[in-house]
């Protein structure tokens, strides 16, 4: 946990200092939520088969901050912190749940080929924070790599806007204790608040 908090602190400091240094180029920020389908596998096995559960619902939350590197407000270098949660409910014929959480922290680009349309992508370090309320069951966590790509319509004028679009996320993590390989994919629709000056 200390390692994750340190990464978040360093990430925020670098983005803040970079934005101040390049403030003349324009500052950019966005945050929001996505809902869609999620698929998790551990060593190629779908947990739904083992848990006697069936759900593909996933939720993605993301935060980006950065600055314009093009000089004309069309290309932004950003840093991103985001996470995908994939929850299995009523597992093993009971009220128990299992939730797989996969996070990303890393650099990305936001590109505006047109003022009303945005393309973006990020890649970076990934870690997991998996949880369950099944008694006497321990969930393994791991580290790895993740990336995402997205396209959105930018509805807004001036500094403030609303992004409505689609996002794909993929992460691959090596679980520390079990040496298993966990991968999560997510595809969904999002709504985000957007700021640029």
pLDDT higher than 80, residue 67: yes
Q: Provide the pLDDT confidence category of residue 158 given band limits of 50, 70 and 90.
A: confident
User: Which pLDDT tens digit goes with each residue over 95-146?
Assistant: 778 888 999 999 999 999 998 999 999 999 999 998 888 777 777 788 999 9
Give mean pLDDT, residues 151-174. Answer: 92
pLDDT score at 113:
94
Residue 191 makes CB contacts below 8 A (sequence gap 6+) with: 32, 33, 34, 162, 163, 164
Q: For a pLDDT cut of 90, what percent of the chain falls above it?
A: 52
Question: Distances from the Cα of 14 to the Cαs of 46, 63, 76, 127, in angstroms?
Answer: 38, 15, 15, 20
HEC letters along 141-163? CEEEEEEEEEEEEEEEECCEEEE
Q: Provide the pLDDT confidence category of residue 13 given band limits of 50, 70 and 90.
A: low
How many C-beta neighbours within 10 Å does residue 1 have? 6
Q: For a pLDDT cut of 70, what percent of the chain falls above it?
A: 82
User: Which pLDDT tens digit goes with each residue over 22-58?
Assistant: 445 689 999 999 999 999 888 887 776 667 666 778 9
pLDDT score at 1:
47
DSSP assignment letter at 93: T
Higher pLDDT: 190 or 142? It is: 190
Structural domains in the chain? 2-196 (2.40.160.20)
pLDDT score at 43:
83
């Amino acid at each position: 946990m200390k390692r994750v908090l340190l990464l978040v602190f360093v990430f925020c400091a670098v983005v803040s200092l970079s934005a101040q240094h390049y403030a003349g180029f324009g500052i950019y920020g966005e945050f929001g939520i996505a809902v869609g389908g999620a698929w998790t596998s551990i060593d190629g096995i779908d947990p739904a088969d083992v848990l006697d559960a069936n759900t593909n619902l996933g939720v993605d939350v993301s935060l980006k901050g950065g600055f314009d590197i093009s000089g004309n407000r069309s290309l932004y270098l950003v840093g991103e912190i985001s996470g995908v949660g994939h929850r299995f409910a009523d597992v093993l014929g009971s009220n128990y749940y299992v939730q797989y959480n996969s996070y990303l922290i890393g650099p990305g680009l936001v590109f505006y080929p047109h003022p009303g349309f945005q393309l973006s992508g990020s890649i970076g370090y990934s870690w997991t924070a998996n949880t369950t309320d099944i008694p006497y069951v321990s969930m393994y966590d791991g580290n790895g790599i993740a990336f995402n790509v997205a396209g959105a319509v930018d509805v807004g004028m001036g500094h403030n806007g609303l992004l409505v679009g689609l996002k794909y996320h993929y992460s691959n993590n090596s679980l520390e204790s079990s040496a298993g390989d966990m991968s999560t994919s997510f595809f969904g629709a999002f709504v985000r608040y957007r700021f640029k000056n």
